[in-house]
Structure 1
């Protein structure tokens, strides 16, 4: 009699044979990581002896049959990463031997059955990335569950899980009395506050007339060179000596240079043989004329002649974020990574929302995030950026960004919009947490992108997903680190939704990341 059937990690497609759902003596069935379609039939109830059932990472759809509740020997049930919808069956409460339950990354709705608290053997449950709502039960397995098990369900609430909002208390009698008391206390306070507000507003308006906003105005002061020649650049870089070379790319080279005044700068020299690159010089000049922010690379001056196209930039002594992720002995702890990504988000938010016309960077990635001597972020390289007309929220381009970071609509149709930058930022956020490039061979070989890889891998422990170097100073992951990382991953997933209109804005990113950082520091 067949007792174990393992068909996982193949390329099976179409529907699963109905006869295999009726093998009454089967103990273990695994068809995970295929492309199997269709619904799970009610015949599932015939698998009376089944102990382990692994259906994850397929294309199963439909509701989860209530006859699952008849499988009283079942200990392991994993349906992660499918398309099941409807409610979690109440009959799951009959799975008296169940130890592991993973329902993550489906489209389940409704509430989490409170009856699951009664399953005394249940050690692990995950319902992340569904459309569940209502209160998270607090007893049984839920008492020791972490935020990771409930991520991606906007409607869930419950005070016993940190970072999940508390459920609203609905008690009309108490609320009525509370409103009456608050009205007596709050009314005079509100009137006083309005008067103070009017006075302060008048004072602020006077102050604003004297200067620009803090973020825009306080760019580090560097001596500005009105005119610079090819000869001066040649001398500053020791005739473009290899020892001065900082980096090379498809558009040209970057050199460290020192002028006669003693000022050290970075000099970006474009490849004149590439016609597209020469066009980028004009684009970058136009963008830099329109922006000024503490988290954008400061352009000191430019040099344009028959021999050279070059930008003279503020020197970033700590190199790029890519160096800090992938080159030893560089290392960033969790707080530093949060701070770096917050700085970067502020720069992109300014590009999108801080000017009369939105500027789309189009090439957000680790190598374009630079760090100065104080580890302050400066986003650079505007060579393929687009300035959107006031009346437009998107445009088209034939110039692609970097593979792995570009949004789906950008790569397939050339559609450029601010939400494309949000997508690239989300990929970068995933990369800084996992130390996995979006083009890593093992991810591409499994026909995954970084987003899908994280969702698929997140059903295990957090250590299976994140960069182990984050915790080199800790014997084990702390509660506050776990909450911080889980919140950042959820933010990254909200940035990288497939449909542009479903993504959040950079304003939302800045708000949420600021809250994540503050929560981490306060715990």
Structure 2
């Protein structure tokens, strides 16, 4: 509360901390405050009316908190306000009518809230506005024609709402417009030809609406692709005709990945709701691709939500590959896709949730333990999946990044292979290909790591390394592996008489008969693993042979155990 004593304070920036609680009412005493930034905290409660008392405030950012309730109507008293960022909160109700009196405001971002109601005709009062983002709310009704009178507006997003009716012809008057996003609404009618007049317009997204008729061909439309108009079933025009749809390697017409093989398309807002605003308490893991969150859909289904970060073209290709493969390959030991979201600025994959986490967790956490037969069953699950990917499809798939963290376990400890972000598809009559993607150190086949050559042998090699790891409980990157010593050579030098020195000692429990059976079976497994990860690709065999060998060994283990 004592913050109210800083009467001469002009700037207060407490952004990106872990502040919680509510805004103290004493903040209204900071009469000289011009800049207030509380972004990226855990603040909650109402946005208090006392903020309206800071009449010199020009910049007000409360983004990415947990504020609820409505927008205070008294905000119109802050006539000095130029920048208002209240996105990614839980604000509800309508935008108060008084808000549209802020005629000198420049930038407004209220996206990713739960705002309802209509966009007022009085929006035309905001003549100075250069940015307006109301996306990812529940705003309905028609787009007011007065919006087209905002001649200074450069960036407009009304995406992911429930807007209906036509796109106003008056939009052709917004001569400063550079970016326009009206995607994921219920807009109908024709695309106004007046948009051709916007000579500095660079980006347009009208996808997922009910637009119809001919797409304009002049102005910005000369450079747009069909993605801009995707999922508007009644559109036609030169843009669509000149776009040659190529057959992808599955023999399917290549379509936008947000609808490819997915049962139900999901919006960014639904994903945000499912993960409680991407709350850190729901984080399942992070990687170079982005982050994975645990989520709960409106149907009460628990899911895993993989959010891709898009700071490079490589990440975009990673999302496309993973969608393409998981939506078209069908095997009971592959992680199943439930839905995905693909927008220009946000891409995510929603998959079934695996309650027992990754194989890595079970190997290296002191709170978990896998017996010999459990480990063997998991590795049989993995190899049968790879057999399917390599040999059962017209277009073989090479995973390229097999490791324990990419093997997920369901509630019965059945393994499911995940993370196909750097996978490669081998075309017809193609036994190998080249790639520039970087796999995980320690699991890389020599021809892959040195020359970027990808074939099914790459997975055979990685599987062999993982098989060694699972039964020795030693990572291929352990500190002990230096000066020419590695996991392969360490195991190889112990074979066959010193196997007890390298295998996971946690497996050596039970009576003498049981331990002898485990030693015999582990020796077989490790010999098979070494054959898989030989440096000579032609000698490493294939997954069909490995499946047969492991199942045969499992049968022998069970018979000896029962004897």
TM range (shorter): 0.5 to 0.7
TM-score by length of structure 2 reads 0.52
Indicate whether 1:504 and 2:541 are aligned.
yes
2:439 aligned partner: 401
SS at the partner of 1:272?
A: coil
Aligned equivalents of 1:390, 1:487: Cα separation in 2: 36
2:12 aligned partner: none
Indicate whether 1:434 and 2:486 are aligned.
no
- 1:145-188, CA deviations, whole angstroms, 9 ceiling, x for partnerless residues? xxxxxxxxxxxxxxxxxxxxxxxxxxxxxxxxxxxxxxxxxxxx
1:382 aligned partner: 420
Structure 2: any 5+ residue segments left out of the alignment? Answer: 1-260
Shift of 1:329: 0.9
1:224-303 map, 5 Å: 225-303=263-341
Residue 499 (structure 2) aligned to one of 462, 469, 472: 462
Shift of 1:230: 0.1
Aligned equivalents of 2:263, 2:274: Cα separation in 1: 14
1:373 aligned partner: 411
- 1:273-331, CA deviations, whole angstroms, 9 ceiling, x for partnerless residues? 24311111111122123300001110111101133110000100000000000012110
Aligned equivalents of 1:411, 1:237: Cα separation in 2: 37
**Residues 237, 257 of structure 1: 8 Å contact kept:** yes
Indicate whether 1:490 and 2:552 are aligned.
no
Shift of 1:459: 5.9
**Residues 360, 416 of structure 1: 8 Å contact kept:** yes
**Residues 262, 337 of structure 2: 8 Å contact kept:** no
Aligned equivalents of 2:554, 2:512: Cα separation in 1: 22
Indicate whether 1:341 and 2:363 are aligned.
no
| Residues 475/244 of structure 1: CA separation in 2 closer, same or farther (3 Å cut) | farther
Aligned equivalents of 2:549, 2:423: Cα separation in 1: 26
Aligned equivalents of 2:366, 2:511: Cα separation in 1: 20
Aligned equivalents of 1:291, 1:449: Cα separation in 2: 35
SS at the partner of 1:511?
A: helix
2:204 aligned partner: none
**Residues 230, 303 of structure 1: 8 Å contact kept:** yes
- 1:236-293, CA deviations, whole angstroms, 9 ceiling, x for partnerless residues? 0000000000111111100000011110000000112243111111111221233000
SS at the partner of 1:297?
A: coil
Aligned equivalents of 2:354, 2:374: Cα separation in 1: 17
| Residues 435/260 of structure 1: CA separation in 2 closer, same or farther (3 Å cut) | same
Aligned equivalents of 1:262, 1:237: Cα separation in 2: 12
Indicate whether 1:411 and 2:411 are aligned.
no
SS at the partner of 2:408?
A: strand
SS at the partner of 1:266?
A: strand
| Residues 426/313 of structure 1: CA separation in 2 closer, same or farther (3 Å cut) | same
Aligned equivalents of 1:278, 1:472: Cα separation in 2: 48
SS at the partner of 1:247?
A: strand
TM-score by length of structure 1 reads 0.56
Aligned equivalents of 1:224, 1:263: Cα separation in 2: 16
Aligned equivalents of 1:356, 1:458: Cα separation in 2: 39
- 1:447-473, CA deviations, whole angstroms, 9 ceiling, x for partnerless residues? 222111111233653220101111234
**Residues 272, 278 of structure 1: 8 Å contact kept:** yes
Higher helix proportion: 1
1:220 aligned partner: none
Aligned equivalents of 2:546, 2:526: Cα separation in 1: 12
Structure 1: any 5+ residue segments left out of the alignment? Answer: 1-222
**Residues 327, 337 of structure 2: 8 Å contact kept:** no
